Amino acid sequence: MAPEIIRLEKISKHYHVGSEIVKALQEVGITINKNEFVAMMGPSGSGKSTLMNMLGCLDTPTSGHYFLNGMDVSKMTDNELAEVRNKEIGFIFQTFNLLPRSIALENVMLPLIYAGVPKHERIRRAEETLASVQLADRMHHRPNELSGGQRQRVAVARALVNKPSLILADEPTGNLDSKTSVEIITLLEEIHQMGNTIVLVTHEEDIAEHAHRIIRLRDGKVEEDKANEKIITFTKPELVNG
């Protein structure tokens, strides 16, 4: 059996809004193993964004424990969480979150700078990762010189460059047309096939159907967690330039 990457034990998150307490997550328990491809779904207010922030070490729970690669990160300080995020987690966002004045190569190198990797090694690894997402000929272009699909591939390369334990993709096709969405989900499939663990948050059923397991949230609780028996895959992807 594959080793465990994520274990959530009775994770709750409560917010104070005026005199009210909002229970965004209520005793959520989830285990995700290495090389799983998991989609998280749920209506607005279901808790999926709060849970994604928790998995990404961007927030800490009100109660419960979150183990990432065996480390209990639920009680860590902000500085400790920042270090874990940089070493263990690669983020892919709906809005790309690229630095507009930096070329693709510099955007991908950013996590390596925070990790203290020497400059020559940063350049080598960033070039190699951009080539792996079919952007070898675009690495010296700024984001405004790239299509939406190319910008998302830069974001994917940035998420991969540190060789993280976990890839978190938050609505990665949300700002893309249907053709480019196919390109990006195909790329995520390839990343998964290389041995990476992916957690994908999406509200699109056709995107979730590419995952091997689908977790559905409602009212801050896990409503359903089951294997996807109708996995959609693109066996011969033809990546386009957007």
In a domain, 233, yes or no: no
In a domain, 13, yes or no: no
User: Which comes out higher in pLDDT, residue 82 or 230?
Assistant: 82
pLDDT in tens, 125-161: 999 999 999 999 999 999 999 998 899 899 999 999 9
What's residue 140's pLDDT?
97
Burial class (CB in 10 A: 0-12, 13-18, 19+), 76: middle
Q: What is the CATH number of the domain that holds 195?
A: 3.40.50.300
* Domain that includes residue 89, residue range: 35-60+76-227
In a domain, 50, yes or no: yes
Mean pLDDT (the chain) is: 90
- Distance linking the first and last C-alpha atoms of the chain: 39
Closest CA to 151 of 142, 163, 164: 142
b/e map of 25-42 (b: 16 or more CB within 10 Å)? bbebebebebbbbbbbbb
**How does residue 182 score in pLDDT terms, banded at 50, 70 and 90?**
confident
Rounded to an integer, what distance in angstroms lies between the CA atom of residue 160 and that of residue 130? Answer: 10
User: pLDDT at residue 236 above 60?
Assistant: no
For 146-150, which contacts have Cβ atoms below 8 Å and span 24 or more sequence positions?
146/104, 146/242, 147/180, 147/241, 147/242, 148/175, 148/176, 148/177, 148/180, 148/242, 149/176, 149/180, 149/183, 149/184, 149/240, 149/241, 149/242, 150/241, 150/242
pLDDT in tens, 15-31: 998 899 999 999 999 99
What's residue 174's pLDDT?
82
User: pLDDT at residue 239 above 70?
Assistant: no
Rounded to an integer, what distance in angstroms lies between the CA atom of residue 168 and that of residue 3? Answer: 18
Q: What are phi and psi of 191, to 5 degrees?
A: -65, -40
Query: How many distinct structural domains can be found in the chain?
Result: 1
The residue-averaged pLDDT of 207-218 equals 93
In a domain, 152, yes or no: yes
User: Which comes out higher in pLDDT, residue 57 or 235?
Assistant: 57
The residue-averaged pLDDT of 9-16 equals 94
Q: What is the number of other CB atoms lying within 10 angstroms of the CB of residue 235? A: 6
In a domain, 81, yes or no: yes
| Angle at 24 (CA atoms; ends 63, 218), nearest 5 degrees | 120
What's residue 166's pLDDT?
94
User: pLDDT at residue 241 above 70?
Assistant: no
Read off the pTM. Answer: 0.87
pLDDT in tens, 65-81: 999 999 999 989 999 99
The residue-averaged pLDDT of 176-187 equals 85
**Residue 12: C-alpha distances to residues 6, 213, 221, 235 (Å):** 16, 22, 9, 40
In a domain, 237, yes or no: no
In a domain, 146, yes or no: yes
pLDDT in tens, 32-55: 999 999 999 999 889 998 999 999
pLDDT in tens, 94-135: 888 999 999 999 999 999 998 899 999 999 999 999 999 999
In a domain, 26, yes or no: no
